[in-house]
A and B are shown apart, each in its own frame.
Chain A
Amino acid sequence: MNKTRRAVLQSSSGFSVMALAAANGLFTSNAFAQAAAAAGKPVAEWNKAAFDTKSLQATATALGGGTAVESRDIIISAPDIAEDGRVVPLNVTSKLAKTEAIAILVEKNPNALAANFAIPEGTEPFVKTAVKMGQSSNIHALVKADGKYYFATREVKVTLGGCGG
């Protein structure tokens, strides 16, 4: 392979990428706000207070709810034993009427709240994603339905931690 050519290609593409990134940096946040506005919804602030919480009830409070009540109508599907804590696949289904939001919490992670999904009308109260787990822990699904908060818990054992250990 022609090494000089490759080097030139790499450096030039590297340069254009940098230039693009710099150009993008100026209006990236705006682009997101525009996309959000185009979707008919102003961009909400990232809920820092909620993501800083350390426990289930504290998260429920930070999200604007009172005490969460345990419910059998929330189903968490996750492996009993996760080999790799960096990627623990899971999904949450809520059978509660008027489900408005589903939050996923990992109890023993440095910050409990992993993700909070708003479920607009017309979208199924179901979400599937993957989270990191530092160690074996309870996973909570916190569901907002008809203005009230409910939760379900499931324990997941982790063989290899995934929080920078």
Chain B
Amino acid sequence: MAYPMKIRASMMGDKVVVKALITHDMETGLAKDSSGKTIPAWFIQQLIGSHNGKTIFNAQFGPSVSKNPSLEFRFSGGKVGEKVKLTWIDNKGETRSDEKEIA
């Protein structure tokens, strides 16, 4: 199940600061459950940020990224009221997109 991301995009001077909280278990494939069985790996592999149809951020994640990953990055060229879109895909092919207006 893919839950919505919490995204914040705000102007800081002439730059846009994008903060995101993603809800994802990010299982490493090394942890065991209470019955001793290995929990299969399940983690976000890629995340793309776009603004006005332009890629502003492109991340590849391994299982070492924390559970419920947090992320912050900054880009220039954004204006108040425009939208920032984040999309991720995990190793099971699940994906989720969320948009946020720049405040």
Q: Which A residues form the contact surface with B (CB < 8 A)?
A: 17, 21, 24-25, 28-29, 31-32, 35-36, 38-41, 43-44, 46-47, 50-51, 86-89, 91, 106, 109-111, 113-120, 122-124, 126-133, 162-164
The answer to whether A32 touches B64 (Cβ under 8 A) is no
Judged by DSSP, the binding face of A is mixed
CA gap between A17 and B1 in the complex, in Å: 8
B61, A128: Cβ atoms under 8 Å?
no
Please tell me if the beta carbons of B46 and A43 are within 8 angstroms of each other in the complex: yes
Q: With A and B bound together, what is the CA distance between A131 and B63 in angstroms?
A: 9
Q: Report Cα–Cα, A110/B59, bound state, in Å.
A: 20
Chain B residues with CB under 8 Å of A35's CB are 48, 50, 85, 87, 95, 97
B residues whose Cβ falls under 8 Å from a Cβ of A: 1, 15, 26, 28, 30-32, 45-46, 48, 50, 53-67, 69-77, 85, 87-89, 91, 93-95, 97
Check A129 against B87 for contact (C-beta < 8 Å).
no
The answer on a CB contact under 8 Å between B60 and A115 is yes
Contact check: which of B50, B54, B66, B85 meets A88 at CB < 8 Å? Answer: B66
Q: Which residues of B contact A41 (CB under 8 A)?
A: 48, 55, 58
List of A residues within 8 angstroms of B97 by Cβ: 31, 35
Contact call B73/A130, Cβ cutoff below 8 A: no
Give the complex CA separation of A125 and B71 in angstroms: 14
